[in-house]
Structure formats: C-alpha cells, structure tokens
Amino acid sequence: MPKTRAELDGMLDELQRDLTMLILDQVDHEDLWVVFAGQADHISAVAAAEDQEHVRTRIDAILRAHGIDPQQPAASSPAS
C-alpha cells in the first residue's frame, strides 16, 4: 500500500537530514551516493502514482539545497 503524502514528507525530511549528516561526516563520495540513492529509490517505490512528481520535486530541492545539480548528482560534489 502506498504511503500518504504526510508519510512521504516525513521520509523526505529524513532523507534531507541524512544527506546533511553524510556531507558533514565527510563520507566517501561513492558511499554517499549509494546511501542517498537507496533512500530516494525506496521513497519513490512507496509513493502512489499521484505523488511521484511531488517526491521528485522534493528530492531535486534537497540536492539543490546542498549545491548539487539534480540532473547530474554523481558528477557534482556536495557543498560543505
């Protein structure tokens, strides 16, 4: 069963906090993307069809807030 919008927003808030912590902890670049992509993929997988755009928009905003181009996150370096 898909998650509610409120549940998705809670998961996305946690994803944002986790990315901040990974960057602050200076986690290896590749490890950072494995963790981030895994969480982002899980959130997308539990979102209903009508919430997919909302999830993508929030994930893009999380990346932009950290100075990362959402179109090429693996090629960009997180801002510290």
Per-run averaged pLDDT (10 residues), the chain, 80 residues:
97 96 86 92 98 97 91 56
Beta bridge partners of 3: 47
Q: What is the reported pTM?
A: 0.84
CA–CA gap between residue 45 and residue 75 (Å, rounded):
24
With beta carbons less than 8 A apart as the criterion, state whether 74 and 62 touch: no
Between the alpha carbon of residue 36 and those of residues 1, 19, 50, 51, 65, the distances in Å are: 23, 7, 23, 19, 14
